[in-house]
Every structure is written in C-alpha cells, then in structure tokens.
Structure 1
Amino acid sequence: MKTYKTSDIRNLTLIGGSGSGKTTLCESMLFEGGVIKRRGSVQQQNTASDHTTVEHEYRNSVFSSVLFTEYNDRKLNIIDTPGMDDFVGNVIPALRVAATGIMVINAPEGIEVGTEIATRQAKKFETPIIFAINHLDKPEIHWESLIADLNQGYQNHIAQIQYPVKTGEGFHKVVDVLKMKLYQWGTDGGEPEILDIPDSEIEKANELHNELVEKAAENDEALMELYFEKGSLTENEMREGIKKGMLSRELYPLFCICSEKDMGVRRLMEFICNVAPAPNELKPKETIDGKKVVVDENEKTSLFFFKTSVESHVGEISYFKVNSGTLKEGDELLNTTTENKEKISQLYVSAGKDRTRVSQLHAGDIGATVKLKETKTDHTLCDKSENYKFRNLRFPKPRYTTAIRAVNESDDEKVAEILQKLAQEDPTWQIEYAKELKQLLVHGQGEYHINTLKWYFDHIYKVEISLERPRISYRETITKPATANYRHKKQSGGSGQFGEVHLIIEPYTEGVDPKKSFKFGEKEIKLNIRGKEEHPLKWGGKLIFCNCIVGGVIDARFLPAILKGIMEKMDQGPLTGSYARDIIVYVYDGKMHPVDSNEISFKIAGRTAFSQAFKEAAPKILEPVYNIQVHVPSDKMGDVMSDLQSRRALILGMESSGNYEVINAQIPLKETYKYSTALSSLTNGRAMFSMEFAQYEKMQADVQKQILEEHEELETV
C-alpha cells in the first residue's frame, strides 16, 4: 500500500455503548475502502474487528481492535473499542492516540451509560467528537426527543449535518443540510443516489442549514464577519468553521447511518476526510519533562506504544503511534523507559487480525511491530539523539477484587505467567500478591471483567482456577489501658530458658506524652520512664516502646528481644491475625535467671504478655473505609441510596452532573464485594461508580463479633 503523508492521515476511535453498532460500522468502512471484499457480521463471527474467540462467544467487543481503510486519497486509522464500562481500559489508549472520536449512538436507546462513560473519557483527552446515529431502521425511534436529549447533554453544541426523512422499517433517505442534498439508498445500501431536496422537506432543511451556518461561523471571527456580510457561507467555508468548532469541542457534527445496511457510511467517511483534523492539526504531544514534540514527518522519530496483544503463533504484537519523524523498517531506536536500544525489524499496518507489511510510516500514523525485546505498553521509543518520554496512560482505579488460586498447587507458577500475559493485553487487570492476606489478588473493573479473565483460563489455557472472596486488610488496636505479666520457663536438661516480663499497654494518640502512672482496681503502678522508642509501622500507625525498668531486674541487653516479641504480635494481631497499630507499651518489671535467661526467653515472654494485655484492653478491629462516588440516573436515586445505607455507607452529599445525580459517600470495604454487579442490576446497567481509600475506622460491635466468630471457625478448621 502507499505511504501517506501526515496531512492525509485521519486517526479515529469508535466509542459508545455496547450494542450501538461500532464493530458493524468498522466493517462497512473497511468495505467502502476496499480493505475487505465482503462485509462480515457479529452474528456470523467473521468481522475484522471482533476476531478473538472470547468476543465470538460473548457477541461483544472485549479488546480494542486496530484497523485501517483508505478513502478519497486519505488513510483512516480506526480503533474499535468495547462499549461496556468493564472494558474501559481499552478505550483510554484509543482516545490517547486518536484525533477524532466517532460516538456511535443506538437510535432506539438514545443516550446510554456507555455514551456517558465515553463522553467523560473523551473530555479528559479533549478529543473532538462526531456523532453517528445508528440503527435508524429499527422501530420505536423518537428522533426529535433524541436530538433534544443530545443538545441537553452536550450544551446545545450538536450540529445536525443530516436528519432522516423517516425512521424505522422505511429508513432509506437522509437530508444533508451541509450539501443541501437528499441521499437515497436501495435495499442493499452502498452507493446512494444524490437528489435535490423535495418540496416537502425544503423548509426544515433550510432551517437546519441556517443553524449549521451560524454554528460554523461562531467558531471564527473572520467567518462571522463574512457571514454578516454575505448572509451565508460556502460549503468550504462551513467546513473550515466546523473543523475549528470540533477542535475547540464547541461543535459536534451529527450524521445518520445504518451500518448494518451500509447506509450513510460513505458520506460519513467523506466528511471525515474533508473536515476531521489531521494529526498535525492537534496540539503538539508533551513529554514528561514538558517538551513539546511537533507532529512533523521531518522531525526526529518518536513512537508511543499504546497497546499490546498476544497471538499464539506470533507472540507479542506491539501497536504504536508515530508521534514525530518518519519510521522505516530496520530503524534502531532508544527505549527511554529501559534505556536500551530496540530494532524495528518488521513494520505493519493492521486490519484486525490481518496485517499488511509496509516499509515506512510518517508522523501521525499508527502501526504495529513484532518481536520487540523489552518494549511494552506505555513505553516511548525515539531517535538515539533525543530522550523523549511521553506521559503514561492513566487508567481508572479497580472497582472489583477477587482472590485467585490454582486448584492444583502444581499450576501455581503457570497461573502467574498467564496472568502476566493477560495484564499486558488489558492493563486494568492488575495482579498483586497480598503478603498480609496470603492471597493472590486480581483487581479489575467489574465482575464481568474478571469473569472474562477466568474464561481465558478455562477455554484457552485449560488451567483450572478458583475465584474466591478476598480477605480484608483489617487493623487491630486497643481502646483502654491494660496490664499483664508472663513468665516463660523451660527446663529440658542442660541450660534452660527463663524470662519474666511485666508490662502495661495503652492506646496511642498523636501528640500525647506517655503517662507516669496507672491505676488498675486498687493497685497503682508508678513508672520511671528511662527510655522511649518511637516505631512508625509500615502498615500505618505507631508503636511506642517505653523502658521503665529500674534496679536492673531485666538486663538492658534483653529489651530488644522483648521489643522483637511484641513486634511479632503486632505483625500478626491477637484478634484476627491482622496488623496491630497505635499502641504504647511500658515494660516496667520482670525477672532474670543468672544461667537460663536468654534472648529467646524474653522474646517469648514479651510476646505472650503483650497478647494477654491486648485482649484485656477493650480491643477493636479497624476496617478500611473508602470514599465512593456513584453516578446514577435520577429515577434510580432512591434504590441506590437505600442499597448504600444497607451496606453501612455514610452519605456525605449529593450533586448533579449532566443527566446524572452524583452520590458521595463513605463505605466499609467489606460491604463492597460484588457491588458493581449489584449496582448494575439495580439500575439496568445505567450507573457507574469509583472508589478510593479514605481511612481506617473502628468497626461496629455487632460486625466485629461476626468477624471474630468467622475467624474462630477458620482457625478450628
């Protein structure tokens, strides 16, 4: 295929709700450009985009697909993205490298949660948007209501380029108010007849044409003056104004299509070629150190890698965008993440699973390569004379966590390897071994997201795994002072073991000094603090260790052993085995033996005395509490609020955001297991949420009792 200059490249990403028809639109675009000879369908499982086995089974996009087509001497790079919120990790890289988002709307459904999610992500990247209203041949379409909803949701920035003469079963005519022509298709779609607008539609067409002229003129002072002077604008002048409006995100062109019948796709592609911004018409890319890299084929070469996929017979396929310069097959570049050199030995452009080998790619183009040594998603390659490093992709925080284990222990290593491979394809699958919980955890965006991962184990890798409820990282502390003593004595021939420790513990509060005396019942214990050690704990909080020994009843050389024994118990708390925190320990008395006392004896004595005192000090479990923000349609507000309160959530406030209400609350982590599934069920998939750790708080007494009972059952198993 030919090599395209930067100005002749258009980078698109198809975004929108699940089932809106993005994959089918890709098929029509590739067919119209001659890249494929016959259009496939999702039902027949033969599309260029959704080509993996899991996508065939789910009948849904799971991963993004990188494709290209050619039209009117332009190259259109297309990234088809999943519509489900669980797979948002594929949408973010696509928006990062695209210059234009094609928001595909399912006409009968209107603005769906997938539309809202895609809109929020596109806003972060300041991506220009074109609306493609799809499925116009389906019943129960309310066109005027849909346009009103879109204008309400997008601040009246919708610019109707087209409108349907009729929707539903008879859909085959569209009035184009930019060209002021009527487009009419036969039953098989494809190339339309271009006709004059009939008298029955001319009044409406003129009204929308004038609105479009005004919207185009609003984005440029010179065009506005021209509009006032002439009372109208030419088609080319309108295109110029529309492009400026798109770049400032003050104008969203809207087209009518039926992708399944290939109606309206050619006109959409023509508009993209003529009006959508080329890569060099966007802002320069900025490196981590603030350097702006101009998208110019004559600059030094730099690439940003946004996606990795793994194919059984090929290995890793790395997808990148040429941010500057001209990349040629055989070029050796510097990986600024690893500081090692990488050779681009093979260069491809992709149409899903099919790849075409090319010799070079200019700035702004999107390509693929194979068999790189160390280059991964988020890495930058650049000319060895430069040190560009582009900003990392930012993915949303996980909202669903599960523990995973191999059913057969012999597969443990294999499971870890598979998880690493899968996380390369979707970075929102995050893998972590929680030492505290003694569990291998997988974090994801929802239960469906995690179940997809399990599908790979079951069907592709044939490794049996179990997904289990993750344990909670509790903390343990005390709420009042307590005292205890313990004598460790062991005699088994020869030298024995002996150590006796008396200690007091009390809750630690920041800024409060240790006490000089305590009273337990009728007994008062006065302390002479001879030394104080402050130990910040890696899991949060502190341990304050006070040496109150007088008269040498315990030799100073044994105090570190006592502290070590106490720290062992802090590391595995007396209640549930969770970390303990925020405690002051006073070691004030004890006994030694001239022969049998040693470090191990005092470590055991200190650990046991501390454990006994802890249980008498009104111990409390601290549970992790998260800030949660839920975006919910107003008609589902009551149901979601009630559900949150049943999960012990504290509602902090509410606000409005576009078509959604936002609930801000704090919720214990224990109550969020499978919350994404419950929220989806409550709202028919129309709500979304995010969570972030806030703090540890004392657990309610009844919940603590339940946790202790569950822990006791596990200990006896």
Structure 2
Amino acid sequence: MKVYKTNEIKNIALIGNSGSGKTTFAEAMLFESGLIRRRGTIEGKNTVSDYFPVEKEYEYSVFPSVISYEWKDKLMNFIDCPGSDDFVGGVVTALNVTDLALMLIDAADGVEVGTINQFRYVDELKKPAVILVNGMDHEKADYENTLSSLKEVYGNKIVPVQYPIGNGAAFNGIIDVLKQKYYHWEPGATAPAVLEIPENEKERAAEYYQVLLEAAAENDEGLMEKFFDQGTLTEEEMRDGIHKGMLNHSLYPVFCASAEKNMAVHRIMNFLSMVAPSPDDMPAPKNSDGVEVAPDSSAPTSLFFFKTTVEPHIGEVSYFKVMSGVVKEGDDFTNTNRQSKERLAQIFTVAGQMRNKAEQLQAGSIGVAVKLKDVRTGNTLNAKGSDHIFNFIKYPEPRYRRAIRALNESNSEKMNEALNRMREEDPTWIVEISKELKQTIVSGQGEFHLKTLKWRIENNDKIEIEFLEPKIPYRETITKAARADYRHKKQSGGAGQFGEVHLIIEPYTEGMPLPEIYKFNGQEFKIQNRDTQVINLDWGGKLVFVNSIVGGSIDARFMPAILKGIMGRMEQGPLTGSYARDVRVIVYDGKMHPVDSNEISFMLAGRNAFSTAFKNASPKILEPIYNVTVSVPGDYMGDVMSDLQGRRAIIMGMESEKGFEKLNAKVPLKEMNTYSTSLSSITGGRGSFSMKFASYELVPSDVQEKLLKEYEEQEKED
C-alpha cells in the first residue's frame, strides 16, 4: 500500500438506525473498491464488518468495525457502527476519531428516534455530515416523505444532491443534481447508463439544482459574488462550496441508493473521496491539558488507542489513530498512561478481519497493531519529544443494571476476568464489585447490550452465568435529634472491659451551626465544642463528629475508638444495613475506669450508643433518584407518561425536539430496572431514553415499611 499524506486521508463514521443498511453498504463499497470479489450478506453471516460470532448469531452489529480501502488516490477509512441504541458506545467512539458522519436513513422508515439520537452526537461533536437515503428498492420506500421528515427536523440544512426515479420495485435510476446527469439501471445491469436528464424531469431537476447552487454559494464570499454576477457556478466550484458548507455545519448533502442492489454506491464513493474533509481540514483535537494537537506529520509521533478487540488465534488487536507524526514498523514508544515501553513490530490497515500491512502511517491515519504487551483502550503512546495524553471520548451514562454471578462459584474469578476484558472492548459496559450490595453489578445501555455480554461469556469463555435483580444502594439518615448513652462492661477474670459513652445525634446539612444547648424530656444539655471532624463519606454525604467532653470524663485517647465504632455502624445502618449519611454526632459525656477502660470498650460503647440514638431519631431510608429523559414519537406520549407515573416518577416537563416529544422526569432507580424493555414494548422500539444520577430522596412511608419488613425477614433467614 502506498503512503498517504494527511490531506489524502478520509476518516468517516458510518452511522444510522438499526436496519438502515450500513453493513450492506460497507459490503458494496468494498466490492466496488476491489478489496472483495463477492459481497457477503447478513443472512449469510459472511459480511466483512460483522465477523464476531455474537454478531453472526444475532444478525446485528455489536462492535464498530474499521474498513479501509484505497479509492481515487485517497485512503478511505470507514468505521461501520452498530445501529441499535444499546451499542451507542461504538457510535460515540467512531465520531470522536473520524472527520465526517455518513448517516444512512431507511427510505421506508424515514427519520427515527435512533437517527435523532445519533445525530445529537454529530451535533455535539461538531462533525460534518452527509445523508444517504438507502433502500430505495424497498416496497415501502418513500423518498419524498423521508426528505420532508429530514427538512422538518433539520430545516434548510437539508440539500438534495440526488433524487430517485421510481420507488420500490420501480426504482431504476437517479437524477444527479450536481452533475446534471441521469443514471439509469437496466434490469440485471451491474453499472448504470449515464444519460442526459429526460425532458419530463428537467423542470424538477432545475428546481433542485437552484437550491443546491444557492446553498453552495452561501458558504464562500467569492462564490457568492460569482453566483450573483453569472447566475451559476462550475461543478468544481459547487463541490468546493458544499465542502465549506459541510465544514461549518450549514449544509447536509442528501444522496439516495440501494446498497443491497449496489445502485448508486459508486457515485457516493466518488463524492466522498473528493468532498469529505481530511483530518487537517478539521479543528485540531485537544490533549488532556487543553492544548491543540494538529495532525502534523513532521511533529513528534503520538498515537491514541480508541478500540481493543480479542480475536481467536491472534489475541488482542489494538486500533489507533495517528494524532501527530508518522508511525513505522519497529518504532518504539512510551505508554504515557501506564508509564511502560512499547514497540510496534507491525502495523496494518484493516477491513474487518482482513489486515493489510502498512510500512508507514502518517498523521490522521487509522491503523492497527497486534499483540501489544501493555496497551488499553484510551491509552496514548508517544515517541521521543511528545508527552500528550488524550481523553476526549465521553461515553453516555448506563441505563440498564443487572447483578451477575457464575452458576459455578469456582468460575467467579474467570467471569470477572472476562468482564474486565470486555470492558476494554466496549467502555459503555460498567462493572462494579459492590462491597455494599455484596453483588457484582454490570451496567450497560439496555437489555440487548447485556444479553450480548451473557452470550459471549457463555459461548466464548464457556462460563455459565445468570443475571439477578440488582439490589438498590439505599441510604439511611435521621430527621430529628436524639440522645442515648451506653455502658459496655465485661468482667471475666483478669483485666475487664469498661467504657461508657453519652452522645447526641442530629440530621446534618452543609454549614448548619452547632447549638449551644439541646433539650430532651425537659433536661438541658450544654455543648462545648472542643474539636470537630468533618468526614466526607465514600458513599456520599457527611459524618460530623464533635468532641464536647469536659472535665476529663473520657480521655482524649479514646475518642478515635468512639469514632471508629460510630463509623462501623454508619457502614451498616440500623434500619436495613445500608450506608448511613448526613449525621452530626456530639459526644458530651461518659465514664471510664482507670484499669479496665481500653479502645475496644469505647468502640463498642460508641457503636451501641449511636445505634440506639439513631433508632430514636425518626430514621428514614433514602433512595437514589435519577433524571430520566425519554424521546418518543408524539403518538406514544400518553402511554409513556402513564407508565412512568406508575413507576413513581415526577414529571418535570415536556418539549418537542426535531419531530419527537421529549419528556423529563425524576424516577427512583428501583423503578428503572425493567424500563428499557417496557419502553421498547410500548413504542414498538421507537422510543429511547437516557438517565443520570440526580440525588438521594426520602422513600414514601409505605415503601419504607416494606423495606423494613424485607430486611427483618432476611436477617431471620441469615
């Protein structure tokens, strides 16, 4: 393979809703490029992109797949992304390391929720985009309706470059507005006849041409002046105007095709090779210090590793983007994240599993290395003279949780190793071995996401596992002040144990003052603040520990032991065994023995006094509340709202966004465990949601009673 300069490289994310035909389109491109001699099919389980066993099993893409081919003296690097919302991590990864989004839209289904969601990332990352209306040969294909829905969502940014002649079985040609030509396919033809535009299409083609002409001219002052002077532009000038419009996000060119029948694929390949931006056209990415790092091949070499897979007979395959400089076989690097040395013995470009050896890759290129000893997803390798670290990929919050365990307990360690390995392959899988819940919790983007994980562990790693309902990380707190004392006394021959602690507890909020006097049952307790410790708890909230001992009733050396006893009870709250939080404890009195008092005595006295006071302070259970945003077609809004209200949701507001309704709510985590499945059922798969932790709030009294009973029964069983 020849060495391509940065301005000869095109990095493109192939995105679109599930079923829009991305993998089929990728096959057609590879066939046109000559890299494959026969196009595979999803049903035949032989496509270049979907080569993992789990993808063949379920017949949908799970991982973003890198596909590189040479075309018109350009190196075209595509990343074919999964369409399902459950695998959105692949879309996020791809958009961060590419310079253009090619959005496929099914001509039969038009703009869908998945389209909106993926395009939201395109907007956030400020990436140019080209839209391809695919599946024009489908019996329900409707180009005009799809175009109308696109304009409804994205307005005048939608500018057709082509429109079809015929829909469904009648689809046999396109009018190319930019080239002012008619591409016509005879039945069974492998290539179109390039003809003049028919008389009966000239008026319509002229209308589309005028729109495209004006859109192209708007993006360049010189082109605008020429357009006003002469009323037209050359094809090359129009391409230049389209290129600039794409870069400033004012123009989304629209094409149409049938990837399955390989109709019009060749034409869009040519367009992308000429008009898609190169890495040096785009704003320079920033390293972790906020410094721009331009894709300069003369600069010291820096590689960012954005993806890792494990392939049979090979092991780890590591995908990287050359952020700056040039990488060659045998180059030595420092892994700046892990402070280790690494040598790249061989480098490749890839098309799925196919690897093509590369002697050199310049800045902006996407490449692959195999069997690296200490490289993880997200790491940066630097050559001498470079010390960058890149961490610009931000993944969405998880939306679906399950506890996981190996059916054979002896396989637990192997299961955890497999989970950590898969976390490298897909960073949107979150794995937590929870000391609090005594469960291993796996969080992902949806039910299919975790179903895929289960299939891989059971079929690839041969470990039988099961998913369980995850426990909820409740918290305990108090709602009023209370007082208690406890004497720990034990005599069993020789030295005994003695410690007595008197304390007051109260709910704590940030910045609240310490009262000088507390009253309980008509008795006053004066407080003198000798020392205050504010402890930020690992699980959230605070414990404020106040030493108010006067007259030496408890020696200062025993105060840490009292605090330790209280912390032990905070870690296993008196109500349900959940973590306690936001409590102020004032130790104001006690007693000690000159011989029998020791640290363990005061630790136990402090623990038991705190437990008694806690139960008398109107204790309450707190539950995690999440901000949930649901996007659905308007027809489903009523059913979705009713379902959420049945989950104890508080509806915070509604708004319309690009043709869909968006609903914002606060929902307890307990009620979200099955929401992914329910929303899909209610909306026929057309709804999506996101969720993010908001706060801990008091549970309703009926829910608290139920939780207390469940905990009592569990304690009896144990």
Note whether the superposition's TM-score is higher than 0.5: yes
Cα distance 1:552–1:301, how it changes in 2: closer, same or farther (>3 A)? closer
Cα distance 1:130–1:582, how it changes in 2: closer, same or farther (>3 A)? closer
1:356-375 equivalences in 2 (<5 Å): 356-375=356-375
Aligned to 1:133: 133
Q: Is the 8 A contact 2:437 2:473 kept in 1?
A: yes
Aligned to 1:651: 651
Q: What whole-Å deviation, never above 9, does each CA across 1:476-508 have from its counterpart, x for those lacking one? A: 122223333333333333333333334333333
For residues 265 and 500 of structure 1, what CA distance do their matches in structure 2 show? 83
Shift of 1:94: 1.0
For residues 128 and 59 of structure 2, what CA distance do their matches in structure 1 show? 29
The amino acid of 1:533's aligned partner reads: T
Aligned to 2:340: 340
Q: Is the 8 A contact 1:305 1:380 kept in 2?
A: yes
Aligned to 1:119: 119
Cα distance 1:8–1:547, how it changes in 2: closer, same or farther (>3 A)? closer
Deviates more, 1:10-19 or 1:596-605: 596-605
Aligned to 2:248: 248
Q: What whole-Å deviation, never above 9, does each CA across 1:162-219 have from its counterpart, x for those lacking one? A: 1111001121111111111111123445321111221121111122112211111111
Shift of 1:524: 1.4
Shift of 1:518: 4.3
For residues 537 and 285 of structure 1, what CA distance do their matches in structure 2 show? 36
Q: What whole-Å deviation, never above 9, does each CA across 1:661-694 have from its counterpart, x for those lacking one? A: 2222222222221222222222222222222222
1:256-655 equivalences in 2 (<5 Å): 256-521=256-521, 523-529=522-528, 531-538=530-537, 539-549=539-549, 552-655=552-655
SS of 1:292's equivalent in the other structure is coil
Q: What whole-Å deviation, never above 9, does each CA across 1:223-262 have from its counterpart, x for those lacking one? A: 1111122211111111111111111121111111111111
Cα distance 1:424–1:553, how it changes in 2: closer, same or farther (>3 A)? closer
Deviates more, 1:429-438 or 1:112-121: 429-438
Cα distance 1:2–1:707, how it changes in 2: closer, same or farther (>3 A)? same
The amino acid of 1:537's aligned partner reads: N
Q: Is the 8 A contact 1:537 1:581 kept in 2?
A: no
For residues 556 and 228 of structure 1, what CA distance do their matches in structure 2 show? 88
For residues 568 and 227 of structure 1, what CA distance do their matches in structure 2 show? 78
Deviates more, 1:686-695 or 1:497-506: 497-506
Q: Is the 8 A contact 2:478 2:614 kept in 1?
A: yes
Cα distance 1:74–1:515, how it changes in 2: closer, same or farther (>3 A)? closer
Cα distance 1:585–1:126, how it changes in 2: closer, same or farther (>3 A)? closer
Cα distance 1:604–1:246, how it changes in 2: closer, same or farther (>3 A)? same
Gaps of at least 5 residues in structure 1 are none
The amino acid of 2:535's aligned partner reads: P
Gaps of at least 5 residues in structure 2 are none
For residues 699 and 553 of structure 2, what CA distance do their matches in structure 1 show? 40
Shift of 1:517: 4.4
Q: What whole-Å deviation, never above 9, does each CA across 1:65-89 have from its counterpart, x for those lacking one? A: 1112222232211110000111111
Aligned to 1:35: 35
The amino acid of 1:505's aligned partner reads: I
The amino acid of 1:334's aligned partner reads: T
Q: Is the 8 A contact 2:287 2:392 kept in 1?
A: no
Shift of 1:554: 4.3
Shift of 1:338: 2.9
Q: What whole-Å deviation, never above 9, does each CA across 1:83-131 have from its counterpart, x for those lacking one? A: 0111111111211222221111110000012211221111122221111
Deviates more, 1:393-402 or 1:500-509: 500-509
Q: Is the 8 A contact 2:113 2:632 kept in 1?
A: no
For residues 379 and 548 of structure 2, what CA distance do their matches in structure 1 show? 56
Cα distance 1:602–1:317, how it changes in 2: closer, same or farther (>3 A)? same
Q: Is the 8 A contact 1:482 1:613 kept in 2?
A: yes
Aligned to 1:698: 698
SS of 1:259's equivalent in the other structure is coil
Q: Is the 8 A contact 2:108 2:138 kept in 1?
A: yes
Aligned to 2:204: 204
Which 4+ stretches in 1 moved above 6 angstroms?
Answer: none
Q: Is the 8 A contact 2:623 2:696 kept in 1?
A: yes
Q: Is the 8 A contact 1:189 1:262 kept in 2?
A: no
Shift of 1:264: 0.6
Shift of 1:591: 4.2
SS of 1:456's equivalent in the other structure is helix
Q: Is the 8 A contact 1:65 1:81 kept in 2?
A: yes
Shift of 1:381: 2.4
Shift of 1:463: 0.6
Cα distance 1:4–1:485, how it changes in 2: closer, same or farther (>3 A)? closer
Cα distance 1:293–1:498, how it changes in 2: closer, same or farther (>3 A)? closer
Q: What whole-Å deviation, never above 9, does each CA across 1:292-335 have from its counterpart, x for those lacking one? A: 33334344333222111111211111111223333211122333
Deviates more, 1:334-343 or 1:231-240: 334-343
TM-score, length-normalised on structure 2? 0.95
Shift of 1:512: 3.7
Q: Is the 8 A contact 1:534 1:542 kept in 2?
A: no
SS of 1:621's equivalent in the other structure is strand
Aligned to 1:151: 151
Aligned to 1:142: 142
The amino acid of 1:434's aligned partner reads: S
For residues 586 and 293 of structure 1, what CA distance do their matches in structure 2 show? 55
Shift of 1:397: 1.3
Cα distance 1:645–1:603, how it changes in 2: closer, same or farther (>3 A)? same
Shift of 1:547: 4.3
For residues 485 and 46 of structure 1, what CA distance do their matches in structure 2 show? 73
For residues 529 and 369 of structure 2, what CA distance do their matches in structure 1 show? 68
Q: Is the 8 A contact 1:305 1:377 kept in 2?
A: yes
Cα distance 1:332–1:502, how it changes in 2: closer, same or farther (>3 A)? closer
1:158-237 equivalences in 2 (<5 Å): 158-188=158-188, 190-237=190-237
Deviates more, 1:95-104 or 1:633-642: 633-642
Shift of 1:595: 4.0
Cα distance 1:49–1:548, how it changes in 2: closer, same or farther (>3 A)? closer
SS of 2:155's equivalent in the other structure is coil
SS of 2:10's equivalent in the other structure is strand
For residues 545 and 17 of structure 1, what CA distance do their matches in structure 2 show? 55
RMSD: 2.1
Shift of 1:411: 1.4
Q: Is the 8 A contact 1:506 1:584 kept in 2?
A: yes
Q: Is the 8 A contact 2:286 2:392 kept in 1?
A: no
TM-score, length-normalised on structure 1? 0.95
For residues 290 and 449 of structure 2, what CA distance do their matches in structure 1 show? 35
Q: What whole-Å deviation, never above 9, does each CA across 1:535-585 have from its counterpart, x for those lacking one? A: 323133333444455565544444433332222112211111112223333
The amino acid of 1:320's aligned partner reads: F
Q: Is the 8 A contact 2:113 2:660 kept in 1?
A: no
Shift of 1:594: 4.6
1:36-75 equivalences in 2 (<5 Å): 36-75=36-75
Cα distance 1:513–1:178, how it changes in 2: closer, same or farther (>3 A)? closer
Q: Is the 8 A contact 2:113 2:631 kept in 1?
A: no
Shift of 1:590: 4.2
